[in-house]
Amino acid sequence: NAGVTQTPKFQVLKTGQSMTLQCAQDMNHEYMSWYRQDPGMGLRLIHYSVGAGITDQGEVPNGYNVSRSTTEDFPLRLLSAAPSQTSVYFCASSLRGGQGETQYFGPGTRLLVL
């Protein structure tokens, strides 16, 4: 199993540009989520999905869109990039999002918005 994969590893955008961060998992997990990690702060939840066709907002959803058309893929879209979105983005998955389940994280995408 490849686990959770993310592409690209690194991206530079100009303010106002849009892009999609890709996330895929091959563990047949129902629950997937996106986090951002900023210096001096804990990871913060952006959006999550409990299954194909179902998404919901996390703690910091503004400026981001998600969709979940398949169990495997959970892309994160930046509609109009802003410097405040400079961050490291992590995708994570777990079997069903249950209380005691381990979350598996991808390697991250480092985004710089100029």
What is the radius of gyration, based on Cα positions, of the chain? 13
If binding is defined by CB under 8 A, does position 2 make contact with another protein?
no
Residue (58 or 75) nearer to another protein, CB = 58
Contacts of 71 (CB under 8 A, 6+ apart): 28, 29, 30, 51, 52
If binding is defined by CB under 8 A, does position 45 make contact with another protein?
yes
Minimum CB separation of residue 66 from another protein in Å reads 12
Contacts of 82 (CB under 8 A, 6+ apart): 15, 63, 113
What number of chain residues touch another protein (CB under 8 A)?
27
Binding mask 84-113 for another protein (x = CB under 8 A): ------x-x---xxxxx-xxxxxxx-----
Calpha distance 100→80 (Å, rounded): 36
- The residues of the shown chain that bind another protein, judged by CB under 8 A, are 4, 31, 33, 40-45, 48, 50, 56, 58, 90, 92, 96-100, 102-108
